[in-house]
Structure 1
Amino acid sequence: MAGRTNRQLITFAVIGVLNTGTYYCAYLPLLTLVPYLVAHILATSISMTGSFFLNARFTYRTRPTLRKFLLFPLTNAANFLITTAGVYVLVDLLHLSSRWAPLLASLGAIPVTFAVSRRIMLPKADQARIA
């Protein structure tokens, strides 16, 4: 049981790194076109879609369904709120570069995102067996 959870957490973290790369590769070009918060929102939407399919396939080994896809943004709601608030604080209050702030802000959201993601992506029977 713990081995399965550890594998999921490691896979989730690897996909998180890929997801962060996707986000950042979308964020930087968007930053040249729109204000930083708009760039952040659009880049988050792009990376969240990829994250859903990668986590369904590799982290939780579950079939991606429309229901899960529609619920998946909930897994990123906490991430989105934490990172958006973090980006704002880092840029507007602490005067850090808007180029680097999203990377720093994303660190605080990882544990919450994993917990919510796992709850949505795994069937209830799997959750009970693993707990």
Structure 2
Amino acid sequence: MRRIITFAAVGAVNTGVYYGLYLLLRLVVPYLVAHVVAFVLAMVGSYFLNCRFTFRTKPSLRTFLLFPLSNATNFVITSVGLYLLVDLWHMNQQVSPLIAAAAAIPITYIVAKYILSEKQTGKQTEKQTVT
């Protein structure tokens, strides 16, 4: 339960970072470009926050390179959602990213948990088997 609460808190911070960057970038580039750049930058921050606080694991090049997989589904859902909300349903460009991001949270957690805790799970299994 602690992990889910912490993941949600990290997600809230990550969403704030993403949203702030999105709004700033939208002033100089089209909204989808702003979305992509803000998403990538926020994802890097999310990796380190989730390693430290949610899964309490040491960052590594391997997990850093795998972590974007946890966000691939998130990216697709938020990108398609943003497009649908803005272009098809004519919703506000400033509110739409928040709605699209909320829809992607559960899947992102499941994949992040697998990637960032896989190594620890293996170590725990080895220790239990040896003992």
TM-score, normalization: structure 1? 0.91
**Structure showing greater Rg:** 2
Q: Matched residues in 2 for 1:101 and 1:108: separation?
A: 11
2:72 to 70, 73, 77: 77
Deviation at 1:124, TM superposition (A): 4.8
Q: Which consecutive residues of structure 1, in runs of 5 or more, have no partner in the other structure?
A: 1-5
- Identity among equivalent positions (%) equals 52
In structure 2, the residue matched to 1:46 is 41
Q: CA deviation at 1:96?
A: 0.3
2:103 paired with 1:103: no
Give CA-to-partner distance per residue, 1:5-62, whole Å, 9 cap, x none. Answer: x111110000000000000110001001000000000000110000000000000000
Structure 1 Cα separation of the partners of residues 119 and 48 of structure 2: 20
2:23 corresponds to which residue? 28
**Residue of structure 2 equivalent to 1:3:** none
In 1, Cα distance between equivalents of 2:58 and 2:120: 15
Listed as ranges, the matches of 1:107-122 within 5 Å are 107-122=102-117
CA contact (8 A) 1:72 1:117 kept: yes
Shift of 1:123: 2.7
Q: Any stretches of 5+ residues in structure 2 without a counterpart?
A: 125-131
- The superposition leaves residues 96-120 of structure 1 with CA deviations (integer Å, 9 ceiling, x where unpaired) of 0111110010111000000000000
Consecutive aligned runs of 4 or more in structure 1 exceeding 6 Å deviation: none
Equivalent-residue separation in structure 2 for 1:103 and 1:96 (angstroms): 12
CA distance 1:99–1:125, change in 2 (3 Å): closer
- Scaled by the length of structure 2, what TM-score is found? 0.91
Contact 1:119 1:127 in 2 (8 A): no
